[in-house]
A = this chain, B = another copy of it.
Amino acid sequence: MADDVTDPLEIRPGYQLKRAAAAAMSDLNDRLSVLDLRQVDASVMLMIQAEPNVIASHIGRVLDIKSANMVPLLRRLEERGLIEKVPLDGKSHGLHLTAAGETIMIEANAILDRFETDLMERIPAEHREHLAPALRAIWHSDT
């Protein structure tokens, strides 16, 4: 039996969204793996880079990472010498990229830029500009 039978899920946008995200995220993970970084690592470091001295709980709030999961994530990055913590007061630490962290982020940003260029290039031109606004609407109106 050839696999040309109509997939009843092909017409469902929810399924398209899931499969597109899975394909894209798998691709990105492969690309980031050469730096031994996961997406979540890169996104956290991106936030630290954008706002040095940011605290962990703020990153967690923005990126939806539970503090229980943030702790080992930051510890790994710190142990690799990519970030450092500077005490702000008795309980908070400002996060910063180290020199090594800045260096790896040059490559990480290049990978992310390339990934996104490739991602957008897959999309026919007439649909391309609509993707980000549509996705943002889905995400931000989620209750």
Residues of A within 8 A of B (CB): 1, 3, 5-10, 12-28, 39, 43, 46-47, 49-51, 54-55, 58, 61-64, 112, 115-116, 119-120, 122-124, 126-128, 130-139, 141-142
Contact = CB atoms under 8 A, between A and B. Distances in A.
Query: Which among A22, A47, A123, A124 has the highest number of chain B CB atoms within 10 Å?
Result: A123
Contacts of A142: 23-24, 26-27
B6 A50 contact: yes
B123 A138 contact: yes
B135 A122 contact: no
B17 A61 contact: no
Contacts of A26: 142
A25 B123 CA distance: 22
A47 B10 CA distance: 11
Contacts of A20: 17, 21, 135-136, 138-139
A63 B22 CA distance: 12
A120 B12 CA distance: 11
Contact of A134 (B3, B128, B138): B128
A137 B136 CA distance: 19
A116 B12 contact: yes
Q: What 6 A-B pairs come out closest when comparing CB atoms? A: A21-B21, A130-B130, A23-B142, A8-B50, A16-B135, A20-B135
Contacts of A141: 122
